[in-house]
Chains A and B, each alone.
Chain A
């Protein structure tokens, strides 16, 4: 199996602060791989090392079969990067942003122009081609940033929080675009702190916290291994708590109580038989959010 990214004991320190603490990664060609973790987990630092922009403090890192420290230029020429901040040129038009970027990859103006048409089509921005970037909505800017990352027809695309800050509709549109990329066989490495994004897009993922990988696998295997099939979310009247010996795990959060049970309905009945009447209840499938909670005792997004 060919690996697009292979990291061993990869670390990044800023002074005394350890941002990435000896992580191992194996990302296969063609798959979509996610780094899921809360703010400060070390996702961006990892992405910057993989994009060969930031040198690792220690450990080994191979990207597209080349050593990241010796072959940065060659690696970057085959990489597409969507940074956490768009970093578009707001004074240029949509099309000009693509053209200028293509020039960095040594493309001729005419090749760059042809490619720009295709990419604008892909990003559904054809009608905004001449608009100045500062007039675009957040979702459009994000799509333009993705289009820009594709000017060199990269084998590997890195996306750092591709949908953070976007409304649900803009997110869905963006996910569609990423799904199409995946269909085309482009390897994707993305970071997110949205568990639904990781579930939707990723074939495999690692959960990061405090610079370390605390779990890895496919979304379904992680959920199966770390948590129950279903979760009951309860809102309880003031002062009421659930304790005692119960046949399922109970997690008490600030504003709700979670019951981890394979049969949510049975768990809810069990609680009611104890004489507790929740003011609200919801039975749902468990998610990666629950995996993170189970592993760290904290929520991904507060």
Chain B
């Protein structure tokens, strides 16, 4: 139950406080490309908060599971391997985030109204967005023996990406240089895809493009994280 609660209460709260606050400042609603600001920020927070949670899932929580708790150490003494443990962590994270995103979706649909069956895919996109962030950070954090650098990662990478990946304001209204950087990261693509799905405008080509970026980050992170898991669990 706590997963569901924190899964949608946090985003809802964020949306209310930050979202509508910022929304009132948007002077050109046409630049949003959506019916109104709620249609813009709602999907943004859905995928964006999944991204944020994915980041934290790979910081202290991951270090705890790898170094301080027994579950993973115990798992590698069974037929499971350290790679199975890594894959399992990402699959579990995806399922958890997708599940909590469904709860958020219900609330969002109550606010913006039914917007077609495609909306039901948005939680899965949120789950993937979370893991596309979690996976590369896991590659880093699994190789660490302590959490010294985690506050910096959290404040300088995870949180700024949440704020600037197009969650609250259109990325294209940012300076080209910044927009270019943002578009290299998975958050932007997850947020755009969720937004398309919830605004009845998801076209196959661009959607697959966004999905591909998410998958590249997930698989790339997975490949790199294997070394950290091997060292932490089987040295």
Interface residues, chain A, with chain B CB atoms under 8 Å away: 14, 51, 53-55, 72-74, 76-77, 79, 81, 83, 85-89, 101, 104-106, 152
Asked whether A106 and B70 contact (CB < 8 A) given A14-B235, A54-B235, the answer is no
A76 and B70 contact, CB distance less than 8 A? no
A85 and B75 contact, CB distance less than 8 A? no
A76 and B79 contact, CB distance less than 8 A? yes
Choose one: A55, A73, A86, A89; the contact of B81 (CB below 8 Å): A73
Q: Does B73 touch A at the CB level, under 8 Å?
A: yes
Asked whether A101 and B79 contact (CB < 8 A) given A53-B234, A54-B234, A55-B234, the answer is no
Given A85-B70, A89-B70, 9 more pairs with CB closer than 8 A: A53-B233, A54-B234, A54-B235, A72-B81, A73-B79, A76-B79, A87-B73, A104-B79, A106-B79
Q: Which residues of A contact B233 (CB under 8 A)?
A: 53
A69 to chain B, nearest CB (A): 12
Alpha-carbon distance A72/B80, docked complex (angstroms): 10
A105 and B78 contact, CB distance less than 8 A? yes
B79 and A53 contact, CB distance less than 8 A? no
Q: Which residues of A contact B201 (CB under 8 A)?
A: none
Q: Which residues of B contact A86 (CB under 8 A)?
A: 70
Alpha-carbon distance A152/B233, docked complex (angstroms): 21
A81 and B235 contact, CB distance less than 8 A? no
Interface residues of B in 38-92 (CB under 8 A from A): 70-71, 73-81
Q: What are 17 A-B pairs with beta-carbon distances under 8 A?
A: A53-B76, A53-B234, A76-B77, A76-B79, A77-B78, A81-B77, A83-B77, A85-B70, A87-B73, A87-B74, A88-B70, A101-B74, A104-B75, A104-B79, A104-B80, A105-B78, A106-B79
Q: Which residues of A contact B71 (CB under 8 A)?
A: 87, 89
Q: Which residues of B contact A88 (CB under 8 A)?
A: 70
B66 to chain A, nearest CB (A): 13
